[in-house]
Amino acid sequence: MRTGKGFARKKHRHKAASAVAPQDDVYRAGFACFVGRPNAGKSTLTNAIVGQKIAITSNKPQTTRHVIRGILHRPDAQLVLVDTPGLHRPRTLLGERLNDLVREVWSEVDVIGVCFPADEPIGRGDRFISSEVSALKAKVIAVVTKVDLVDPQTLAQRLLAVAELYDFAEIIPVSAVSGHQVENLTDAMIRHMPESPQLYPDDVLTDEPEQVLIGELIREAALEGVRDELPHSIAVLVEEMLVEGNLTRIFADIYVERDSQKSIVIGSRGTRLKEVGTKARAEIEQLLGRRIYLDLHVRVAKEWQRDPKQLRKLGF
């Protein structure tokens, strides 16, 4: 797996870092990922554990399209969390590629956390995912997510149903929003990591290139308020970044699949696109810690989700 220098603007320490003293002299380091159906809360949980937003989230299924690694540093351990797309029945070439990505990550990590949203019953997708991961070398733990959304009785039912699915090494209920049990989950994952020297330098938060993170933040802003097929049709490519003194000019293209979608994204007299730009700019400035100027263009790439050439251009 790729390791090395990465994005490290904020020298971040997880709040657990100072609180958790090494239990023995063993230093552990390794890779973990959350898997689960789309919208299960994998990216939100990844951000909560890493302690900073490295992965975008939304209430639309299939938000994550890139494998993004977030690194948690503790005195006794380094946990590399790999955020993956939700596993789903693919309807396009993009969907197939995303599922392939997920399986590639499964085979490389030490620990897999299968996520089950507490506010939804266990479904066929969950059963399928559980049976698939059971064949892997990784330790598999179950994570019941979004527990803040259900009453204790529903949670108890969910935990029982999960226990019946597969002999998970542990079952941990969490809420990434309230922070409930997030530290416990982190400890559990680290317990199953191998003894290993540090994998990344101290201050690295993610090894994702700036350009990809920026594109993702723009896509996250563009996803807000759009419905039906449109969220799936949106892709973002950062074309250029120019540093001019303390201002960074970023030129990015938002791709959609049809002219009608282009009008929706732009909005009447450009109002929607302006909102997207304002929201994305604030997020990007927070990420980079610099002032930016954001230049957004909306372009049509017909049926890009099914076209190998366009997929390649868009980074898939």
Ligand X SMILES: Nc1nc2c(ncn2[C@@H]2O[C@H](COP(=O)(O)OP(=O)(O)OP(=O)(O)O)[C@@H](O)[C@H]2O)c(=O)[nH]1
Residue type, 257: E
158 contacts 112 by C-beta, under 8 angstroms: no
At 100, give phi and psi (nearest 5°): -60, -40
Smallest distance from Mg ion to CB 35, Å: 11
For residue 33, the minimal CB distance to Mg ion (Å) is: 11
Strand partners for 140: 112
Q: Which residues are annotated as a binding site for GTP?
A: 36-43, 83-87, 145-148
Secondary element (H or E) of residue 285: helix 271-288
Candidate list 33, 40, 222, 301; residue touching ligand X; CB under 6 A = 40
DSSP character string of 128-190: HHHHHHTTSSSEEEEEEE-GGGS-HHHHHHHHHHHHHH---S-EEE--TTT-TTHHHHHHHHH
Measure the CA–CA gap between 55 and 67, rounded to whole angstroms. Answer: 9
Q: Choose, by CB under 6 A, the member of 41, 70, 173, 277 that binds ligand X.
A: 41
Q: How far is the CB of 212 from Mg ion (least distance, A)?
A: 14
Pick one of 52, 62, 134, 154: the residue that binds ligand X (CB under 6 A): 62
Residue 267 touches ligand X, criterion: CB under 6 A: no
For the segment 133-192, give every residue that binds ligand X (CB under 6 A): 145-146, 148-149, 175-177
Binding residue (CB under 6 A) for ligand X from 44, 130, 248, 261: 44
In the bound complex, what is the minimum distance in angstroms from residue 168's beta carbon to ligand X? 18
233 near ligand X, rule: CB under 6 A: no
Nearer to ligand X, 176 or 311 (CB): 176
Q: Which residue is nearest to ligand X (CB)?
A: 86
Helix (H, G, I), strand (E, B) or coil at 17: helix
Tell me the helices (H) and strands (E) count for the chain, helix number first: 11, 9
Residue 207 DSSP code? -
Indicate whether 43 belongs to the interface with ligand X (CB under 6 A). yes
Helix axes 152-165, 124-133, angle to 10 degrees: 50
Positions touching ligand X (CB under 6 A) are 36, 38-44, 57-59, 61-64, 85-86, 145-146, 148-149, 175-177
